[in-house]
A and B are shown apart, each in its own frame.
Chain A
Amino acid sequence: MRKRMWLPVCIAMILTFLLTGTAAQAGNTIKVGIVDTYTGPASTYTNDVRDAFKLATDKINAKGGILGKKIEFVTRDDKFKVDIGLSAAKELIMRENVDILMGTINSGLTLAISDLCEKEKIPFLVTFAKSEKITGEKGNRYVFSMNENTAMAGKAGAAGLAKKPYKKYWIAGDDYEYGHAIADSVWNHLKTLRPDVELLGQSWWKVGEPDFTPYITAMLSAKPDAVIIATGGAGCVPFLKASAATGFNKSVPFYMHTATEMSTLAPLGLTAPEGVLGTSNYFYYFPDTPENKAFVKEFKDAYGRPPKVGALYGYITANFIAKAYEKAGEINTEKFINALEGMSIGSPIGELTVRAFDHQVMFPMFMGTTKKVEGYDYLIATDIVTIPGKDLMPSIEDIKKARGVK
């Protein structure tokens, strides 16, 4: 009885495979597969990437698409896990026949998918993973980074800190790839800019550490002039919270890469600490240009909330795809990549260019300090200084060295 039950099930499954397979091939579209984390804390960043990507593709499709083809996309949830994300990427390539892959916020997973895409010859546009290895040491012909990376953020942070009179530093952060990468990057650049700085000590906590009070009081007892905080994602909010509760921001100045981002500051409301130095790629209130205002209005009308940094990444990715295919003149992967190398597009934050050598978009960085400003129910970045992208890019020599190319 039981054995016989299996036969119809198997036949049904095979039929479904065949049907969906032919359906995917028959469509006269450009298909983009997005693998990203839609479960857990990271989704507060990734939802904006997807929503802005949809906004941009809807606009492109309404104008008739690219080369007469519409862009469509499918998403897969990687649950922030490398194995799940990698099999999702494989599934998108094999079964959904996607032309392009996009994602993810997990640096480890991104490196794994990048390897896969090199083998399968599928372009992979990275949105959010910040490891500098993606376009540096582990870069390849098929991977492009549509966001800033730890090397660039570190250079920006070091440039800002070097102008301050601080000498004795403490480093504290998340004990994983992102935390160590950004801390090393800030510190190494700071030491070249200011050879007189001194490292008093370091604290490393586990990712997702909920309560930073003991770490802050321990740092205070070492009496540093300034602290470099290398925590990202879910750690930013409770760290700022603990620093406000202990008055840490008033007694010791500190720099944290994503401190000024809206994902970090909005949940804290007006109790967030003032005077924290942070860097970001995007604010919906800066730069105050017509392009940015138009983008913010468009996003707000569609989703009822202002766009966060992820929205910029999603939006430019769609526009880069459209422009690159148009320049290539046909739907051809190799021509698409050749077209994308060195390409520039207009964006809400001004013109952005893909560096031809390493496929890294040359993002400018906005450095500012947190402050209460009338008219906002949360703190925003003020005294914003723009550091141009070309000053932040790792040198081509350094990348060649990291890749072991002579």
Chain B
Amino acid sequence: MDFASNITLSALFQQSLVGLSRTTILFIVASGLSLILGVLRIPNVAHGSLYMIGAFIMYSINLFFGGGQVGFWIAVLLSPLAVALISLVVERGLFQYLYEREHLMLLLFTFSITLVFGDLVKMVWGSDYRCVDLPAAFQGFFTILGFPFPRYNFFLIITGPVVAFGLWFLTNRTRIGKIARAAAVDREMVGAVGINVSLVFAAVFVIGCFLAGLGGALVAPTQNIRQGMDHAIIIEAFLIVIMGGLGNIWGALLGALIFGLTDSIGILVWPQFAIVFPYVIVVMVLLFYPKGLLKSTW
């Protein structure tokens, strides 16, 4: 029905902008997942749960400080840290004993953690939908080429490159980042030169989970915070990581861009069957690049 009748250049531009803001969230979550996968070799299904917990904590902190500018900023900064703290406990308490297990065991283990976290969230926050109100400065929209564009999405678009730069700096300019990259290539060698691999792993795990929490905190004001949001994101995040190349955070960026943009453009081009677009792209990419777009190590 009316295939592609409403596509104008300005609509396309607008739709790409919306897609980019969505890409930011996908990138932040997927890069954390990819980092953990690359360095620790853990397919961390619980990453989605940490994202969900990040959103719920964002809600609680924002509520505690009475919302507005103050509550929002404190919540955005504190909730990823809180998630990082939770992940530190989980890593030191559980994961550090399991690194030598095979992939399937780790997958099952992280899956069981999602169930535990899911029930914990239900016990702490209950089953009602939660919403975070944006501070007044972020409410409303700009009009770009005749189309409304939410202010908060604009903020998200700016956040994306900032986080990407932070990750680049961490992995290329800091000691821990360089060690982490080395560990991703050859973990025995890193241990052999006298570095405490276990601590490096802990640090990388916490950083990866921090990103999950950040994604959750940033996404909280745009949707309803509820149980089940963990499953929705983890599927998309894994697809992005697989498409970009397992363990490569730049692959996660590339994958998130492709996924986010095909999703939003697909909605404009063929709204009735928009659901399939991003998944078709994933299939196409994997047909031609079975190991993902970028190399697994970087």
Contacts and interface: CB of A to CB of B under 8 A. Distances in A.
A141 to B, nearest CB: 34
Interface string B3-28: 00111100100110011011000000
Given A41-B228, A210-B219, A251 B19 contact: no
B150 A234 contact: no
Interface stretch (A261-269, A296-304, A321-329, A345-353): A261-269
Contacts of A208: 228, 232
Given A201-B1, A245-B222, A214 B127 contact: no
A214 B150 contact: no
Interface stretch (A8-16, A110-118, A145-153, A217-225): A217-225
Contacts of A219: 271
A268 B268 CA distance: 27
A7 B256 CA distance: 56
Nearest to B59: A267
Contacts of A214: 15, 18-19, 22, 263-264, 267-268
B219 A44 contact: no
A206 interface: yes
Given A210-B219, A241-B224, A269-B131, A247 B271 contact: no
A129 to B, nearest CB: 18
Question: What secondary structure prevails in chain A residues at the interface with B?
Answer: helix
A214 B21 CA distance: 10
A40 B267 CA distance: 28
B92 interface: no
Interface residues of B, number: 49
Contacts of A217: 11, 14-15, 18, 147-149, 268
Contacts of A234: 129, 224, 226, 228
Contact of B1 (A39, A43, A202): A202
B34 interface: no
A247 B140 contact: yes
B147 A202 contact: no
Contact of B271 (A47, A210, A218): A218
A388 to B, nearest CB: 31
A246 interface: yes
A268 B150 CA distance: 17
A201 B2 contact: yes
Contacts of A247: 140-141, 148
Contacts of A206: 275
A200 B272 CA distance: 12
Contact of A221 (B6, B127, B152): B6
Contact of A204 (B14, B134, B271): B271
B100 interface: no
Nearest to B118: A39
A204 B129 contact: no
Contacts of B7: 221
Contact of A202 (B263, B264, B272): B272
Contacts of A263: 128-129
B291 to A, nearest CB: 28
B227 interface: yes
Contacts of B229: 210
Contacts of A270: 133
Name the interface size band of chain A: 35 or more
B178 to A, nearest CB: 36
A238 B148 contact: no
A41 B8 contact: no
Interface string A192-234: 0000000111111110101101110111111100000000001
B275 A175 contact: yes
Interface in A264-304: 266-271
B153 interface: yes
Contacts of A354: none
B112 interface: no
B107 interface: no
Nearest to B231: A208
B271 A201 contact: yes
B274 A203 contact: yes
A166 interface: no
Contacts of A268: 131
B267 A267 contact: no
B256 to A, nearest CB: 14
A63 B8 CA distance: 69
B274 A221 contact: no
B268 A218 contact: yes
B226 A213 contact: no
A242 interface: yes
Interface string B251-277: 000000000000110011001111100
A294 to B, nearest CB: 25
Given A175-B275, A210-B229, A267 B148 contact: no
Given A234-B224, A245-B139, A267 B130 contact: yes
Interface in A234-270: 234, 237-238, 241-242, 245-248, 251, 263, 266-270
Nearest to B264: A214
Interface of B: 1-2, 5-8, 11, 14-15, 18-19, 21-22, 122, 127-131, 133-134, 139-141, 147-150, 152-153, 219, 222-224, 226-229, 232-233, 263-264, 267-268, 271-275
10 contacts: A41-B227, A208-B232, A215-B267, A215-B271, A218-B267, A221-B8, A245-B139, A247-B140, A251-B148, A267-B129
